[in-house]
Amino acid sequence: MNLELHKIPIRKLRFGDETKVDGDTLSINQKELRELLLSDAALAEVEFDLAHPGDNTRIMPVKDAIEPRCKLEGDGEVFPGFIGPVETVGSGKTLVLEGMAVLTTGRLVAPQEGIVDMSGPGADYTPFSKTCNLVMVLKPRDEVKLHEAEQCCRTAGLKAAHYLAGKCKETKAGQVESFEFPDLNEAMKAHPGLPKVAYVYMLQSQGLLHDTWVYGVDAKRILPTLISPTEIMDGAIISGNCVSACDKNSTYVHLNNPIIKALYKRHGKELNFVGVVITNENVTLADKQRSSSYAIKLAKMLGVEAAVISEEGFGNPDADLVLNCVKAERAGIKTVLVTDEYAGANGASQSLADSCAEGTAVVTGGNANATIILPPMSKVIGDIGQADVIAGGFFGSKRPDGSLEVEIQAILGATNELGFNKIGAYTI
């Protein structure tokens, strides 16, 4: 599979009569986009706003972030199972509006969404303070059930992202990146002498509203399977979970997974990157054992000598992470684990809910329990009233002057477990 990402740099957003790119500025026709989104009977209202890096603006609570993409050539369409039919993606040419994101917000389903500050100390913790953001404040109909509201808002974000990219198909890309993923017969013979490395990609799937979607199917329903990294770049994996914002893998992050990019960068030089094994995170011991055994079986079938294993979330998923690590190491596969920590405000508590002697190489995205004061902003998009109940907030988080006292857990992407964040640490 060979995928070309045709990237159009976007450095400014504005509303206009036509959705198009002019230089590095994207104009957006609100009326046209609103009509598209309101064709979903579950959605009552949608309002749009813009936020740029450096603005004195706070956005909360953010549900998802999506990078606008669409297919130019090749099978299927981006976000398969949501946009167009369920066809295998990951080859051909895909248009990317690089430098911007669609953010969905509003009082949606639960208090488990995050804060994005476009300036100030909070901006240092979220990667989405550096993107030009089209913010959609969504209001599902009152009679719609919570899980249906989540589905409605998830789909609205994907539709908007696809619409924006689709309107720019005639614009010449500023940069083209190529990613090739050969068939296994070729991959196994390539780069003799270099260690074969796989990526075990754990997806949040712990229950209702803790969902990740793979080709339109809830990841709770899958057995671990092989997937091309280029399929992921085309939106085969979609975020649908309402978890702590700090280590949530938004759809934008799945599209731009830094672990995959790092493995590609080292491919053919330091290692032979032979594939991605996606696996789920389960709530019963039997399911944890089944998925971990199956994931490591696939890694063994690839004949890999090492694996990078990343998790999403904390607490219960730590058990899945440790099971994957133990079974891989005992199978002779060296592991590197990528996680974050919930070690208390002072960092003195146990970082993970589970551990093992085999886990000797660990990358951390930081301590989500660390606290921060976010100063007041002149503009708030969304609902600041959720600060007292958002994950990482507490009663009294919202101060009279408009400032917030929260754990960095409340900031979108602050301790992201794929490394799509601003902080980290290591121990030797």
Q: What share of the chain is helix, strand, coil (3-state, %, to 5)?
A: 25, 35, 40
Q: Two tokens at 103? A: 């953010």
CA distance 202 to 220: 11
Pair 136, 104: CB distance under 8 Å: yes
Give the CB-side neighbour count of residue 250, counting CA atoms within 13 A: 31
State the DSSP string of 371-406: EEEEPP-SEEEE-GGGGGTSBTB-TT-B-TTS-EEE
Q: Is 49 in a helix, a strand, or coil?
A: strand
Which one from 152, 242, 246, 325 is the annotated catalytic residue?
A: 242
- CB atoms near residue 412 (< 10 Å): 32
| 403 backbone dihedrals φ, ψ, rounded to 5° | -80, 165
* Phi, psi angles (nearest 5°) of residue 235: 90, 25
CA dihedral 319, 320, 325, 330 (to 10 degrees): 90
Burial 180-204 (b: 16+ CB within 10 A, else e): ebeeeeebeeebeebebbbbbbbbb
Q: How far apart are CA 325 and CA 307, in angstroms?
A: 9
**Residues contacting 287, CB < 8 A, separation 6+:** none
User: CA-CA distances (angstroms) from residue 292 to 41, 284, 342?
Assistant: 40, 12, 23
Distance between CA 65 and CA 62 in Å, rounded?
Answer: 8
242 is catalytic: yes
Look at strands 334-341 and 12-15 and give their pairing: unpaired
Structure tokens at 81: 């199972």
Are residues 327 and 320 in contact, defined by beta-carbon separation less than 8 angstroms? no
Residues with catalytic annotation? 242
